[in-house]
Amino acid sequence: MKADVIVDLQFGSTGKGAVAAYLVSKRNKYYDASLRVQSIQAGHTVYYRGKPYKMRTIPCAWVNPEVALILGPGAFIDKELLLREIDMVSEATGADVRDRLFLDFRANYVLKEDADLEGQLQLEGIMGSTAHGAGASLIRKLWRKSMPSRVDDDSWAREHKLRTCDSIRMIEPMGSVLVEGCQGSMLSVHTSPYYPYVTSRECTVSGILSECGIAPRDVGEVHGVFRTLPIRVGGNSGPTGGRELSWAEVNARAGREVEPERTTVTNRVRRVFEFSDKDFELALITNRPDRLYMTFADYLGVGIYGRRALCDLGPSAQNVLMGEVVRIQQRHRVHIDWVGTGEKAEDFIEMPE
């Protein structure tokens, strides 16, 4: 088995859902399964038949009906949210997603008291937390007080006809699996320079693998995703290595009215920043991506939005886009494989070697 891993190289919301949809839809790459861990507090948007779907639990690879969907050992599951996503995906595809959805018996449920505790601690105002209870659920797990809220100690999954599994043994004989990382590596609790304005987990490739139970030697390719202008959630969420911008400044650069982005989970207006080479360098060191995906390229200048080939760009737009691509490639000695120009998985430009 070889596992390809999608990792966010910044602070989240880089467009990992679109990259996941792109990877599972490529004709020259087949995945037996897609895994997700670190769920609920992070939302990924994926487009299916032209319609956006915001996913917080089920992997975005559901857009390919042949891929098995697994919530791994490190997943934290909101029961009601999972049921809503099952109904949403089943309605979208016309087939019951339960037939290919599996919950690892080690995964944890997030309880109402977990969210209540985070609300009492006022984590949302102190450090920009989503305060949905995933951190408190993790603490219960670390204190070994999570019983009976683990999947294997609860009858809820059986009542709702959900399949449970030992995902580590399940994927071992498979040919190739895709791992969908959540949040961003610059939010990692151990390695981020922005502590305490971080999440409760390690969101680097190493951290993601440990929560899946996948050995480093079983990694195929690491797919690193980053934005031209990184974001953080609204409120007191901490700094980045770049200057904070207003959405009016973003509009001026893009040459169009860009609706201020809102977080998938909390619906707060996101804060937006200049690209930081220092942050990017640290993310490269801690993740060592094999392939790079630069998203939100349409924020760089006029005439880039929605374009799907370099030949579709006018001379000015092409100069702006390639100027930034070449600058990043030369400074960091990397190659950018894919440039996202819009919301959909098809809104991208494959870059020449």
What CATH number should be reported for the domain holding residue 345?
3.40.440.10
Please tell me what DSSP assigns to residue 195.
T
Secondary structure class of 290 (helix, strand, coil): coil
Q: What is the pLDDT of residue 200?
A: 84
Instruction: Please report the DSSP string for 42-62 in residue order.
Output: --EEEEETTEEEEESSS-GGG
Contacts of 312 (CB under 8 A, 6+ apart): none
Q: What is the pTM of this model?
A: 0.92
Measuring CA to CA, which residue among 159, 42, 143 is closest to residue 151? 159
Low-confidence ranges of the chain (pLDDT < 70): 27-28, 39-41, 114-133, 146-148, 264-266
The string of pLDDT tens digits covering residues 241-267 is 999 999 999 999 999 998 899 876 667
State the Rg of the chain over Cα: 19
- Round to whole Å and give the CA distance between 167 and 163: 11
The pair of three-digit structure tokens given for residue 141, joined into one six-digit string: 């797990």
Q: What is the pLDDT of residue 139?
A: 81
Q: What is the pLDDT of residue 132?
A: 66
Measuring CA to CA, which residue among 228, 310, 236 is closest to residue 276? 228
Omega prior to 73 cis, within 30 of 0:
no
Number of compact structural domains in the chain: 1
| Residue at 31: amino acid letter | Y
Range of the domain at 96: 2-350
